[in-house]
Amino acid sequence: MKTLKETNCHITLADKGFTRYKIVIARNASLSIIHAAEELRGFLNRISGASFQIVYDNVIQTEYEIIIGDNSHIRTLNLNIDFENLGTDGFTLLTAGKTLVIAGSEKRGCLYGVYTFLEDYLGCRFFTEDVIVIPQRNAISLPEINDTQIPVLEYRESYFKDYWDGDFYARLKCNGNAGRLTEMHGFKMEYCHFVHSFNALVPPDKYFDSHPEYFSEVNGIRIKDRTQLCLTNPDVLEIAKNTVRKWILNNPNAAIISVSQNDWHNYCTCEKCRSVDEYEGSHAGTLIRFVNSIAESIEDEFPAIAIDTLAYQYTRKPPKHIRPNKNVIIRLCSIECCFSHPLADCDSDFKADLIGWSKICERLHVWDYVVNFAHTLSPFPNFHVLQPNIKFFIEHNVTGIFEEGNNSDRESGEFNALKQYIIAKLLWNPDYDVDAGIAEFMTAYYGMAAYEIKRYFDLIHDMISPDIHMRIYDSPHTAYLSKDMLDKADIIFDRAERLAENETILARVQKLRLSVRYVRIVNIPMDETNRSAIVEEFIEDVRNSGVTSYREGGKLEHTEPLLRDGKI
């Protein structure tokens, strides 16, 4: 985050329900700037009780204005704002005499500037879609402001299923593919075929029977099921080029096209593929050659489009010789790593791969993982590594981060909403005060029970020691989920439930408690007298809570028989 802040004097935007200020935008303002002005007006009205108006820049200019975006009024102030340097997402907040300026691009910069002004200077908080803090003030007085923020990350995705409302995602300043971000939000970094696209590029059902040589040779046999592509086959390359071009033409808003391996192994080991990969010292060798050829075929006609591919599992290691083309994005994945300790300290192989890719590609993104995918209800105490890992990525030239949370059920998983909020804050500003953010969130989300919930939060994180390595497919039988911890957690939750001041807060506390109950359930011996009744009560509470899955891709009806039979 490039940032400059200076504060001294003050101006008063509203006092005792009255304002002289108008919000000024250009007559030809983009939908995003119009939305920014409407958002600002709405929140200012609610904060102060005053009635702010939006006007165009053809009105007579006064000193009592909030100017949003590049228009005739901002130009008369001669502020020398470098709009080009701000890019699509950066902004400048500036007081010029009695005037407040929110300058940024017509795409997302002005909108992000409005949200940052509301948060940093007026105390608003956007914790979830429906948990928003709007302070009430008799007067809105401001210091002298000179605050420029330009995010270091071009792509920011805090990915938790169905927390993707467009207004909420924009307020978090996330611009990733999952958010329901429309033109009024400045759109997003939109993908075409988000990931694992080989079967869509060259469909096995269409080509395998007549051309098995297009697909992976494994143990001397070309395979159709769970296959990859034969990346050295020239016909495969031509089909893929034509497919990519069709995708671009059919998806005019897409900025990134995914050309990436399927979500399994079975890479091609034919003689040509094997020769290239051995020369490059990595299976990324054939992949990057293939992706580069596609990227080169579109770069003149579609200079704004990038081709994205994965450095994932068998392609994670960077190649020795080939270099990604300038319009290629490498998305390095941390799926095998430990998430109880910072990646910089705990996983030397991943660290080496990150450093290696950072030296050879212009656009390096990371696909990171932040929940337990095998047991999404199970506690996953990793908040203490979120900030160091994001900083670690950025220190090694990463320009985009995808943090994958629960992708099969909005409601499953513990601390989902808090985790999404903290991650979004860090993706915008890696130096964000995480402890303060957690405290603010818990107060707003858990009310009078917040103190006890924070005690539980600290309890599970205190279970992590230097010798405990936590991974995203850990069993609930793991050491950091001990009986002693569960016993202490139950005492805490008993108190939290008693403190909950209304049904909404109580429901949130009880839903969070499902994590502790889940671990207990899977550890109850089959010969326990009351086991069946305890399991059935838990299953009913899970269903009533809105949870629809216990693991990635695992629906309730698939997992609950395993709970009943003690097979988890």
Q: How far is CA 423 from the centre of its chain?
A: 7
pLDDT at 427: 98
Neighbours of 431 (CB within 10 A): 10
Which amino acid does the sequence have at 378? Answer: S
Q: What are phi and psi of 289, to 5 degrees?
A: -60, -45
Output b/e per residue, 262-282; b: 16+ Cβ within 10 A.
Answer: beeebbbebeebbebbeebeb
Task: State the Cα–Cα distance between residues 554 and 480, nearest whole angstrom.
Answer: 24
Nearest to 150 by CA among 70, 92, 80: 92
CB 174 within 8 A of CB 423: no
DSSP 126-195: E-SSS-EE----SEEEEE--EEEEE-S-SEEEEE-TT---HHHHHHTT---TTS---GGGT----EES-S
pLDDT at 1: 55
User: Position of tokens 């509301």?
Assistant: 118
Nearest to 308 by CA among 263, 259, 354, 353: 259
Task: State the Cα–Cα distance between residues 355 and 117, nearest whole angstrom.
Answer: 36
Q: 211-222 pLDDT, tens per residue?
A: 999 999 999 999
Task: State the Cα–Cα distance between residues 47 and 142, nearest whole angstrom.
Answer: 14
The long-range contacts involving 4-7, CB below 8 angstroms and separated by at least 24 positions, are 4/146, 4/147, 4/148, 5/145, 5/146, 5/147, 6/144, 6/145, 6/146, 6/147, 7/143, 7/144, 7/145
Task: State the Cα–Cα distance between residues 435 and 268, nearest whole angstrom.
Answer: 47
Whole-angstrom CA distances from 403 to 89, 324, 335, 338, 398 are 19, 23, 11, 15, 13
Average model confidence (pLDDT) across the chain: 95
pLDDT at 412: 74
Structure tokens at 166: 């467009």
Whole-angstrom CA distances from 529 to 316, 470, 524, 533 are 49, 32, 10, 9
Which amino acid does the sequence have at 15? Answer: D
Q: 334-380 pLDDT, tens per residue?
A: 999 999 999 999 989 999 999 999 999 999 999 999 999 999 999 99
Which amino acid does the sequence have at 230? Answer: C
Q: Where are the domains of the chain?
A: 2-150, 448-565
CB 304 within 8 A of CB 255: yes
CATH code, residues 2-150: 3.30.379.10
Task: State the Cα–Cα distance between residues 259 and 533, nearest whole angstrom.
Answer: 50
Task: State the Cα–Cα distance between residues 504 and 262, nearest whole angstrom.
Answer: 42
Task: State the Cα–Cα distance between residues 47 and 328, nearest whole angstrom.
Answer: 46
Q: How far is CA 151 from the centre of its chain?
A: 14
Per-residue pLDDT tens, the chain, 568 aa: give them: 544 343 455 899 999 999 999 999 999 999 999 999 999 999 999 999 999 999 999 999 999 999 999 999 999 999 999 999 999 999 999 999 999 999 999 999 999 999 999 999 999 999 999 999 999 999 999 999 999 999 999 999 999 988 899 999 999 999 999 999 999 999 999 999 999 999 999 999 999 999 999 999 999 999 999 999 999 999 999 999 999 999 999 999 999 999 999 999 999 999 999 999 999 999 999 999 999 999 999 999 999 999 999 999 999 999 999 999 999 999 999 999 999 999 999 989 999 999 999 999 999 999 999 999 999 999 999 999 999 999 999 999 999 999 999 877 777 778 999 999 999 999 999 999 999 999 999 999 999 999 999 999 999 999 999 999 999 999 999 999 999 999 999 999 999 999 999 999 999 999 999 999 999 999 999 999 999 999 999 999 999 999 988 998 888 888 999 999 999 8
- CB within 8 Å of 532: residues ≥ 6 apart: 564
- CB within 8 Å of 457: residues ≥ 6 apart: 383, 415, 438, 442
Q: What are phi and psi of 144, to 5 degrees?
A: -65, 130
Sign of torsion over alpha carbons 249, 253, 255, 259: negative
The long-range contacts involving 185-189, CB below 8 angstroms and separated by at least 24 positions, are 185/32, 185/35, 185/108, 185/111, 186/30, 186/32, 186/88, 186/105, 186/107, 186/108, 186/111, 187/107, 187/253, 189/154, 189/155, 189/255, 189/256, 189/400
DSSP-derived 3-state class of residue 256: strand
pLDDT at 104: 98
Nearest to 100 by CA among 140, 66, 148: 66
β-bridge partners, 417: none
pLDDT at 410: 73
DSSP 328-385: EEEEEE-TTS-SSS-HHHH-HHHHHHHHHHHHH-SEEEEEEE-S-SS-TTS----HHH
